[in-house]
Amino acid sequence: STSRPRSELLYAEALLHIVGGVNSPSRSFKAVGGGAPVFMKRARGAHFWDVDDNRYIDYLCAYGPIITGHAHPHITAAITRAAENGTLYGTPTELEIELARMLKAAIPSMDKVRFVNSGTEAVMTTIRVARAFTKRSKIIKFAGCYHGHSDLVLVAAGSGPSTLGIPDSAGVPASIAGEVITVPFNDPESLKQALERWGDEVAAVMVEPIVGNFGMVMPKPGFLEELCRMTREAGALVIYDEVISAFRFHYGSAHTYDVFPDKAAIEPDLTALGKIIGGGLPIGAYGGRKEVMEQVAPLGPAYQAGTMAGNPASISAGIACLEVLQKPGVYEGMDALAVQLADALRASADSYGIPLQINRIRGSFSAHFCSHPVTNYDEAQDTDGEQFAQFFRLMLEQGICLAPSKYEAWFLTTAHTEEDIAATIQAADQALRAMAAAHGQ
Ligand code: PMP
């Protein structure tokens, strides 16, 4: 069991200087009973060490980007080389062309690409570009999908067939929230109704083709096909937010993944990227059809710029990360370990009578403490937060690091080993047994 006095101390200190003690609210332990989050000081491969020298096996993986494990030597060498040559020029570089070529080769729906600094920026700009192209202002998004923290997409709440935006954050004007229509994921009928009602005002339908933000959730067969067909019929654009999903399940985007039989029927007009394509440094990118992308300055009237955009360090790390992911067997390796881990978790939960819903997609999965399948946000909301909080803490005590959120996925990397998986299976079994025993009393 771990003891973390230095994390406690640093948290008290951080609270004095950094709002909430954290630089992203997802890092706080608010959702798992509060207290000090763990302050890490070093990471290598699949492992973390905290400031009290406890070791952890990492399944948080920085919320997705760390797919080759921490401090991968090939990526570290690329970053070092970039640093030695100067980190920021404010001019174009040859490296940017190389990463753009790699992205286009893997995601053929992107004729043209632009690099930015985060997933938030990428998504935010795809919306501007879609609005410029269609000369319309509304967007449709799906309940529970997170698309970064820009005003327009911080409108996630809403159940029922379709909801005109209620902001999820203070500071988002009602006039902006009113431009967003929210419908349930995996429900073509609701989307149809929304398009019938608002279709000629809708610039774009924004979706995570494979959801990563209320669990890992596959679109039902035919859902993306229907979505694309109905959206185009309404004269709106299809935007895929692939900030989590691109290069996560195979070398390419979610919509080029083999589980989808008719790729042409699910091609987006615009795609937003981030996370993995920066190899652990800040990055975002967006791209799409030539005519649509030509809206962007300096070619067109839609403005978007960035001092740090395309910086050599992020681009070099991204290229190096994709090079690692191109090696044969990389995805199959993560896949095999995730199958072992997910099967064992399910078996342990079953044996202690704890309802656990596991959605696994290749090397990552979500584990909802709830008794029915999770295919949309309403269903995900039935997840038992108390149970998750107990599980989270029991795992942490045994040196297993998960995201402090009941919806967040477990991510495997190319660095996780059979030994890591075996240790995690044992820890999870202990945790679930303890939870069942406490519940029985
Ligand atoms: N879109 C999706 C699907 C995401 O999961 C995230 C971040 N979790 C974002 C956009 C925002 O990306 P960033 O945090 O890099 O701004």
Instruction: Give this complex's ipTM.
Output: 0.99
* Tens digit of each residue's pLDDT (9 = 90 or more) over 247-298: 999 999 999 999 999 999 999 999 999 999 999 999 999 999 999 999 999 9
Among candidate residues 280, 309, 325, the one where a domain is terminated: 325
- Residue 120 near ligand 1, beta carbon < 6 Å: yes
Quick check: is 241 catalytic? Answer: yes
* Tens digit of each residue's pLDDT (9 = 90 or more) over 55-87: 999 999 999 999 999 999 999 999 999 999 999
Quick check: is 146 catalytic? Answer: yes
Tokens of 390: 């107990």
C-alpha triplet 270, 273, 278: angle, nearest 5°: 150
- Residue 208 near ligand 1, beta carbon < 6 Å: yes
* CATH label of the domain that carries residue 384: 3.90.1150.10
Give the whole-angstrom CA distance, residue 255 versus residue 218. Answer: 11
The pLDDT value recorded for residue 158 is 42
Considering its fold, how many domains does the chain have in total? 2
Of the residues 138, 192, 275, 406, only one is catalytic, namely 275
pTM of the model: 0.97
Of the residues 11, 56, 146, 331, only one is catalytic, namely 146
CA 424 / ligand 1 centre spacing (Å): 27
* Tens digit of each residue's pLDDT (9 = 90 or more) over 366-391: 999 999 999 999 999 999 999 999 99
- Residue 185 near ligand 1, beta carbon < 6 Å: no
* CATH label of the domain that carries residue 313: 3.40.640.10
- Residue 11 near ligand 1, beta carbon < 6 Å: no
Q: Does residue 344 contact residue 124 with C-beta atoms inside 8 Å?
A: no
The pLDDT value recorded for residue 109 is 97
Do 163 and 283 lie in a common domain? yes
Helices and strands (H, E) in the chain, number of each type: 13, 15
Mutate to test the pocket of ligand 1, among 22, 24, 60, 123 (most ligand atoms within 8 A of CB): 123
Do 152 and 292 lie in a common domain? yes
DSSP 192-248: HHHHHHHGGGEEEEEE-SSB-SSS-BPPPTTHHHHHHHHHHHTT-EEEEE-TTTTTT
Do 209 and 249 lie in a common domain? yes
CA 1 / ligand 1 centre spacing (Å): 33
- Residue 286 near ligand 1, beta carbon < 6 Å: no
Domain carrying residue 32 = 5-71+328-440
Do 146 and 190 lie in a common domain? yes
